[in-house]
Amino acid sequence: MDETCWSPFNISVPYITDFHKAYLDSKTLAEKETLRLGNKNESQLEVVSLVCGLIGGDALLPFTPATLAVFVSQLTNNEIHYNSLKYLEALLGKVPIVHIDDVCEAHIFCMESPSLRGRFLCATSYVSRAGIASYHQQNYPQFHVKEE
CATH number, position 132 = 3.40.50.720
Q: How far is CA 52 from CA 1, 34, 108, 122, 127, in A?
A: 12, 17, 14, 5, 14
pLDDT at residue 40, as a whole number = 84
- 27 classed as catalytic: yes
* pLDDT of residue 18 exceeding 70: yes
pTM of structure: 0.85
pLDDT at residue 85, as a whole number = 94
Give a yes or no: residue 121 inside a domain.
yes
Give a yes or no: residue 61 inside a domain.
yes
Query: Which listed residue (21, 27, 86, 94) is catalytic?
Result: 27
Percentage of residues of the chain with pLDDT beyond 90: 62
Give a yes or no: residue 2 inside a domain.
no
Mean pLDDT of 26-32: 92
Structural domain of 30: 18-139
pLDDT at residue 103, as a whole number = 97
Domain count, the chain: 1
The tens digit of pLDDT for each residue in 59-112 reads 899 999 999 999 999 999 999 999 999 999 998 899 999 999 999 999 999 999
Give a yes or no: residue 3 inside a domain.
no
DSSP state of 3: T
